[in-house]
Amino acid sequence: MGGQYRIAVIPGDGIGPEVVKAALGVLEQIGVTYGHQFVTKTLLAGGCAIDTTGNPLPPETVAECRKSDAVLLGAVGGDQWDHLPGDQRPEQALLGLRGQLGLYANLRPALLYPELKEACPLKPEIIGDGLDLLVVRELTGGIYFGTRGRRHTESTGWEAFDTEVYSEAEVERIARMAFTIARQRRRKVTSVDKANILESSRLWRAVVSRVAADYPEVELNHLYVDNAAMQLVKDPRQFDVIVTSNMFGDILSDEASMVTGSIGMLPSASLGEGNFGLYEPVHGSAPDLAGQDRANPLATILSVAMMLRYSLALPREAAAIEQAVEQVLAEGYRTGDLMSPGKTLVGTEEMGKLVRSHI
């Protein structure tokens, strides 16, 4: 007997609505094949919410998300909202959702699909038989949520400040998440900080080291963030799970995704306590591609797979989506971002249908 699930859907801006539509088609097929019922509710957030309600994150959106089992999000943002003050920008919707829904752990896998090896910008001897690492980014603390502001003094004129703050409890819970996941992978955690300079990083390092004692089967090492950035291109295969702060994770997860060469392929999960989570592609709203049926929907489709696995406890259905994606790639179908000679170019909608047809 199948289950019934409530999914909050936030298409957002730019290519968001197109890739979400393709992914919902795949989810619908999962429902048909496996006998589940997915009840979706479409909600506003980001630039489109600013245009219709004046608020990037209407309270109704947060309330509906809370009533759901999981949230699927496309992307937010675009040039037309770039002039707005910081607290009214579309990106504020993401910070608001993360903060208000308590989604403190952001999982960003960077996986190089064997079929897409030619898209990887690194030399074959560096990638070897493939890449498979996971960035676990702290998502509701640090400099993103610390006090910020401007002040004026006679002697300095205007100055601006942002604050990096981490409590022991915040570091501990993200560290536990990383160790727990590493246990099911290759059992290695690399904690990334700037402990040679930042006091918050020294606390981070101490807490991660202490938590590590509870996971003796997992190997832990520490890297400074500048070194980690270098190691990611020099020898990415040394990494299994990288755990790091909000801002370092923002930067390193972009780098890790580019190392695979296919940011259009990478999903993400943002988790809190319990099973609830928000799932979205790692890529942004790509306004230059919007409305042209050219965007790659696979990152969003794979985000649906993560949603089935982490929030709905449907690992078999998640695997069905992942296998369908691999089959479609193996058959040679590519969206423009992944195109190479001899492959078949397809649009967003067609790519969604192809994945669907393999479920």
Question: In the complex, which residues of this chain contact ligand IPM (CB under 6 A)?
Answer: 91, 94, 250
Q: What are the structure tokens assigned to 340, written together?
A: 């190479």
Q: Which does 193 bind (CB under 5 to 8 A by kind): Mg ion, ligand IPM, none?
A: none
User: Which candidate in 162, 226, 235, 288 is catalytic?
Assistant: 226
82 is catalytic: no
Q: Which does 91 bind (CB under 5 to 8 A by kind): Mg ion, ligand IPM, none?
A: ligand IPM
User: Which candidate in 104, 144, 215, 310 is catalytic?
Assistant: 144
Work out how close the CB of 77 gets to ligand IPM at its nearest, in angstroms, rounded to a whole number.
6
Does position 250 bind Mg ion by CB under 5 A?
yes
Q: What are phi and psi of 58, to 5 degrees?
A: -60, 140
With beta carbons less than 8 A apart as the criterion, state whether 242 and 193 touch.
no
Q: Which residues of 93-120 are buried (b: 16+ CB within 10 A; e: fewer)?
A: bbbbbbbbbebbbbbbbbbbbebbeebb
- Taking alpha carbons only, the member of 277, 224, 281, 228 closest to residue 256 is 228
Q: Which does 94 bind (CB under 5 to 8 A by kind): ligand IPM, Mg ion, none?
A: ligand IPM
79 is catalytic: no
User: Which candidate in 5, 250, 279, 337 is catalytic?
Assistant: 250
Rg (CA), the chain: 20
333 is catalytic: no
Tokens 């918050």 belong to residue = 200
Work out how close the CB of 254 gets to Mg ion at its nearest, in angstroms, rounded to a whole number.
5
* Nearest residue to ligand IPM, by Cβ distance, number only: 91
224 is catalytic: no
User: How far is it, in rounded angstroms, from Cα 17 to Cα 292?
Assistant: 12
166 is catalytic: no
For residue 15, give Cα distances in angstroms to 5, 194, 227: 26, 35, 34
Work out how close the CB of 178 gets to ligand IPM at its nearest, in angstroms, rounded to a whole number.
18
Pick 91 or 326: Cβ nearer ligand IPM: 91
Enzyme catalytic residues: 144, 194, 226, 250, 254
Binding site for Mg ion (CB under 5 A): 250
